[in-house]
Structure 1
């Protein structure tokens, strides 16, 4: 099978790095051929802080995926997140070229170029230019104007920018691991393509990718992306709260969170007990599971409260008929969707 029919995705997260290899068959369907994961030790809040450790983690995850899939990996699509991500909506206007005034791909390229002509600081670069809609002679709501007649073409786009240093550090880590970066992809955008359906995209929906160090948000309406944002809070902050509250190391706190954690205290019975291992020869102790939830719920509530404030900035919060879809490891705690509904006031579900 040719290399160009093999696609590799790399999720470079704060707590783990995950790789996936997919083959495109003759029916244009992607089939997962291999996966690989590795603990992430070189990132903080989605940003590389240690090149060497990040390269080691990337290498391990991709080698696992390559071994499982039996494919030779050269080019990858790398995800990017972090609270350095910014976005803006922009608009471009051009006069349609050609004698017959029929809109062509060349006109599309020109109007998108006009829309992305914004002033950027020296330390930032554009990673996505995502068209929202086209307007032909004041007729709006057009998704693909090619072949239509008109004299004036407008385009509204969503532009996502990132720290140039963050982008180059990710690309450098991948290169040092022995691979090439085909494209840098915003992680909540990639998540939305994986878990949202057409009806949700049209009705209005928000996606929250709850990772270890950050929570990434993207908002869609009428089939197009309208808003993106990143919160500097994630599952690792919940683990840190448990570590302090239970006076136990981070790795044990993470294990307890995964096995016994619950985001909503009201869902936990008062008589359920959890064993906390002792450290340095100390005896293990029992605590009520409700104590765990009492520590977890305030932090999760804070994340959803901050997310709500971000959604209200998007100006389409009242149009989110499909509510919010939660993804990422931080969303796997029981009660997460119920707490999100209570705090944000819109329907919530776990993405699949």
Structure 2
């Protein structure tokens, strides 16, 4: 059995499902999936907790399944956060170096990054992540780790992600009431990016689109760092609702129709077969053509992708996305979503599944629905199971900057605990 200090746990608290993944890391930093648990979730709405008790029970169930499969007792988890309350912005800061020899120290970097956080926020919002884009020393840009360099003036540009205080606090409360500690809280599209994007894609420029049950998460990468994030309050559950209302069927029937027969692109249907749906309470069965179902699905998927397109334009990186778009999450399993994305976004699209898993229950998580859960585990690998840390560009991994960011993020976590 793996040593407890080498165990990482990801907890994906979604609108339609809660997923727990227990993994270990060996001496070569290879990840092995030890246990997976999944429980239906109906205590959230669009990524935000609306029923504490239902969410707590689903968390307990998912983690219990993962514990049983892995033989590991879970103590703390790395948990994701999403919801349309998430906001992102760019910020800049500048300081002068006052050391006698003008050598930049880790304390100078910490002072600069704290200066970047001096922004006006509504009282109900709090910073979740501070992601350095680059440092500039005496006009020299493109610096990932300025510690040890000489200079008189240092600047930084960062990507700041904020969220509702109450939303983050309720996630903490649910996990703690379930009997576990929160090791870290991570924005879900950032977590998913760890598992489905490789370094070449992040360098070339790529859009990650994670279509979940309650929200669609967007993250844009370029030059190995995050450039733009957004959370859209339209996702797979809306597709199910449209099918239920449009075809006058039960909710579970609508979900089954979406999963088994749903198509995102009417023009690509090869055979317009007839689908029989059992009648309600003894009534005659319904007969629905695949093309009618596809028209309902396509309308909503088009809306999602059109909003993604708006976010791409808003980011100003639309012309720098050589790696196209990677679509993941449960919504990516709806057939022909990639051709639809190609047409609407004008970018090459592919489905993203978790990468970099070496052993254990590798095949069990080989699906887009586990992108966030596996990504949370990979985030824990980078930062340590019991330590919170802000995501950094790949080029600054293990640097003095990363250590400074850990201190800053620990203070953020302490702030939530004090509420």
TM-score (norm 2): 0.82
Q: How does 1:182-221 map to 2 (within 5 A)?
A: 182-221=183-222
1:317 counterpart SS class: coil
Equivalent residue, structure 2, for 1:149: 150
Instruction: After superposing the two structures, state which structure 1 stretch, 140-149 or 183-192, moved more.
Output: 140-149
Change beyond 3 A, Cα 1:271–1:215: closer
CA–CA separation in structure 2 for the residues paired with 1:54 and 1:13 = 10
Equivalent residue, structure 2, for 1:108: 109
CA–CA separation in structure 2 for the residues paired with 1:271 and 1:48 = 40
Change beyond 3 A, Cα 1:271–1:330: closer
Equivalent residue, structure 2, for 1:350: 351
1:313 counterpart SS class: helix
Equivalent residue, structure 2, for 1:27: 28
Matched, 1:163 2:151: no
1:166 counterpart SS class: helix
Instruction: After superposing the two structures, state which structure 1 stretch, 282-291 or 47-56, moved more.
Output: 282-291
Residue 270 of structure 1 contacts residue 288 of structure 1 at CA under 8 Å; is this kept in 2? no
Residue 18 of structure 1 contacts residue 38 of structure 1 at CA under 8 Å; is this kept in 2? yes
Shift of 1:270: 4.4
- Cα deviation digits, residues 281-333 of structure 1 (max 9, x gap): 12323322111111111110011111111211111112112111111001111
Q: How does 1:266-305 map to 2 (within 5 A)?
A: 266-305=267-306
Shift of 1:182: 1.0
Shift of 1:100: 2.9
Equivalent residue, structure 2, for 1:11: 12
CA–CA separation in structure 1 for the residues paired with 2:5 and 2:164 = 30
Structure 2: segments with no counterpart, 5+ residues: 354-419
CA–CA separation in structure 2 for the residues paired with 1:80 and 1:185 = 6
CA–CA separation in structure 2 for the residues paired with 1:329 and 1:303 = 14
CA–CA separation in structure 1 for the residues paired with 2:158 and 2:33 = 32
Change beyond 3 A, Cα 1:199–1:16: same
CA–CA separation in structure 2 for the residues paired with 1:15 and 1:333 = 16
Equivalent residue, structure 1, for 2:175: 174
Equivalent residue, structure 1, for 2:381: none
CA–CA separation in structure 2 for the residues paired with 1:226 and 1:275 = 46
Structure 1: segments with no counterpart, 5+ residues: none
Equivalent residue, structure 2, for 1:56: 57
Q: State the superposition RMSD in angstroms.
A: 1.2
More strand by share: 1
CA–CA separation in structure 2 for the residues paired with 1:343 and 1:17 = 31
Equivalent residue, structure 2, for 1:224: 225
1:131 counterpart SS class: strand
Shift of 1:174: 0.4
CA–CA separation in structure 2 for the residues paired with 1:294 and 1:86 = 32
Residue 78 of structure 1 contacts residue 183 of structure 1 at CA under 8 Å; is this kept in 2? yes
- Cα deviation digits, residues 64-86 of structure 1 (max 9, x gap): 11111111111111100000000
Residue 326 of structure 1 contacts residue 348 of structure 1 at CA under 8 Å; is this kept in 2? yes
TM-score (norm 1): 0.97
- Cα deviation digits, residues 227-271 of structure 1 (max 9, x gap): 111111000010111111221111111011111111011111344
Residue 97 of structure 1 contacts residue 107 of structure 1 at CA under 8 Å; is this kept in 2? no
Instruction: After superposing the two structures, state which structure 1 stretch, 268-277 or 285-294, moved more.
Output: 268-277
1:200 counterpart SS class: helix
Aligned length: 352
Shift of 1:26: 0.8
Equivalent residue, structure 2, for 1:99: 100
1:14 counterpart SS class: coil
